Structures are given as C-alpha cells and as structure tokens.
Amino acid sequence: MISALEPSEAQLAAFARADQTQPVAMLNLLKFRDKAEYTDGRDAKGMSGQDAYGLYGLVAMQKIAEVGGRMFWAAPGPATFIGGENDDWDMVVIIRYPSRAAFLEMINKPDYREAIPHRDAGLLRTALLDCPGGSIPA
C-alpha cells in the first residue's frame, strides 16, 4: 500500500473541476506513527507522531477558521467493524468548509504549507474524503 499524504495530480484536478461554490465536508482518516519522522532531517526529539500532527493541527485549525471552515466532529480510536487490515485509524475528523474554493485557498496559504512537515512527520497513513457538506450546519 502506498502511503499518500498529498493528492495526486488527477485527484487535485478532479477536485478543482468540481463545483467550487458548494459547501464541502472533508472526512479525515488518520493513522499516526509511533514516533515522529521528519523527512527534512530535523530531530523529532522522541516526539510521538500524534504530537507532531498536533503541531500541524494548531496551524491548520487557524487557517480553517480564516477561510470560514470549522471542525464539525472528531473522535479518537474508532474500532473497525467491517474492513481490512489497513482500515485501522487512530482518529477520524470531519471539517466543513463553505466551499471547495475555500479549501483550496486554505491549503495554499504559506503558513499552512510551512506546517505540513509536522503533518507528514506524524502520519503513517491517511485518507481524505471529499463529501457534500450542505447538510452540515455552517
């Protein structure tokens, strides 16, 4: 299984082609590393993957709010009832954005981009699912 932490070009293009004006809910499935691993060579100083991801999360939550988004729901450690061996997740989060355009604006903010090494150091694997967000209150 390839662990993708960024969308492929095809995934990003499909997202950009979709209606940019409708609310969107991004369902985040997160599996943390036991120990953070920075690919840029910095010392993680024994930090857990979840703690490294938390450093990213502090910045991400500010940027989400700046574009009018909000965390709708989060839960730690869901149990897999039906699924395969790679369907074990440490956390599930739903973020609602007022539009796909707002999401794209957020991920292109320079300070958001600067926090990505913490996200990548913390995650063993992830899935980000683009869901209709109109039924989630703003």
Q: pLDDT by residue for the chain (138 residues), tens digit each?
A: 345 788 889 998 999 999 999 999 999 999 999 999 999 989 999 999 999 999 999 999 999 999 999 999 999 977 888 888 778 899 999 999 999 999 999 999 999 999 999 999 999 999 999 999 988 888
Q: What was the pLDDT predicted at 81?
A: 84
Angstrom CA distances, 83 to 67, 75, 80, 86, 130, stand at 34, 18, 6, 8, 20
Digit-coded pLDDT (tens) for 83-122? 887 788 999 999 999 999 999 999 999 999 999 999 999 9
State the number of CA atoms in the 13 A half-sphere of 24 facing the CB: 21
In angstroms, the CA 99 to CA 6 distance is 20
Residues 6+ positions from 45 with CB-CB distance below 8 Å: none
Q: What was the pLDDT predicted at 3?
A: 52
* Model confidence, pTM: 0.90
CATH 3.30.70.100 fits 21-34+44-132, yes or no: yes
Domain boundaries, the chain: 21-34+44-132
CA triple 8-10-16, angle to 5 deg: 105
Q: What was the pLDDT predicted at 1?
A: 37
Q: Do 103 and 25 contact (CB within 8 A), yes or no?
A: no
The token pair at 79 is: 């149990």
